[in-house]
Amino acid sequence: MRAVVATRFGGPDVLEVLDLPEPTVGPGQVKVDVVTAGLNPVDAMMRRGEMGGQAPLRLGTELVGRITEIGPGVTGFTVGEEIIGFGALGSYAETHVLPATQIAPKPAPLDWNVAGGLSGVGQTALTVLDTLALTPGQTLLAHGATGGVGSLLVQLAHRAGIHVIGTASPANHDYLRRLGATPVAYGPGLADRLRTALREGDHPGIDAAVDMSGVWDNIESTLELVPLNRTITLVPATAQRSVPLVRVQRSAARLTHLAALAATGELHAEVQETFPLDDIVRAHTQLDTKHTRGKLVLRIREA
């Protein structure tokens, strides 16, 4: 089977598609023919060697596919079933083996490409909302609101009756409005633009903020309006400077909930572009721009 390998740490060109031995299924595991696999910024961090480990290393943490084999002790799943998998290290591959505790059924109407990019970002968005525990009518400031996590966070917050102000480049402002947020451009003068947005929206203030951009300037502007104990970040770079870092909490139950919302169209999961496995260098080059709208997804085989 073919899989992506980072042959050494570095830029996108360290990635190669290699022929590797077919994985075997152990107790509690399932084997999957992978159809799609989402790309996440953490994959680029691993490729650069920022997450430890040693090269060569396999990349990818999430996948969607069909079960081809079931290991001893697994109940509740059948061969041929369509599933979404998370915590599946090395998922940029034609086939993959992972624990049955890390899969959830893929609803049949859910598009394969959308499903491929849903797991990590969706579960992160839900973790952010659980952590901040905002109530209807309160206001959330989200930096990086048009990325993979942000696009889902804005909608989930909006559904919960929370007003969202999101930072994004002007080209993404209409997109952000469609998701349900008030857009504000990042960059110099941000704090003043946030005050204007609050005034125009008749909101008394910002109740909590989340940084998904990793840009310290955004935090500095935030702290003019939001107390530090109501500000969190998802990015280690900004956490190093005293803002609490929140890590994704994943579960099959959480993923099942997200998949149901996406399947019925209640949650729109934007996929900016899909790539075949052999285009992995181009896919990671786009990932490294940090200006993707929604998700990038590998389309590894036809369903």
Distances (CA, A) of 235 to 106, 159, 191, 242, 246: 29, 25, 21, 12, 8
Task: State the minimum distance, in angstroms, from the CB of residue 45 to ligand NAP.
Answer: 7
Position among 121, 134, 194, 261 found at the interface with ligand NAP (CB under 6 A)? 121
Task: State the minimum distance, in angstroms, from the CB of residue 166 to ligand NAP.
Answer: 8
Task: State the minimum distance, in angstroms, from the CB of residue 290 to ligand NAP.
Answer: 5
Query: Which residue, among 76, 96, 78, has the nearest Cα to 35 in the 3D structure?
Result: 96
194, 221 in Cβ contact below 8 A?
yes
Position among 293, 297, 298, 299 found at the interface with ligand NAP (CB under 6 A)? 293
- Which residue's Cβ has the minimum distance to ligand NAP? 147
Position among 139, 182, 218, 222 found at the interface with ligand NAP (CB under 6 A)? 218
φ, ψ for residue 17 (rounded to 5)?
A: -95, 115
**Is residue 212 near ligand NAP by the rule CB under 6 A?**
yes
Task: State the minimum distance, in angstroms, from the CB of residue 193 to ligand NAP.
Answer: 12
Site for ligand NAP in 131-150 (CB under 6 A): 143-144, 146-150
**Is residue 186 near ligand NAP by the rule CB under 6 A?**
yes
Position among 41, 85, 122, 183 found at the interface with ligand NAP (CB under 6 A)? 41
**Is residue 42 near ligand NAP by the rule CB under 6 A?**
yes
The secondary structure element, H or E, covering residue 153 is helix 148-159
63 vs 23: CA distance, rounded Å: 15
Q: For CA atoms 69, 92, 274, 302, give the dihedral sign.
A: negative
Which bin fits 161, alpha (ψ -120 to 50), beta or left (φ > 0)? left
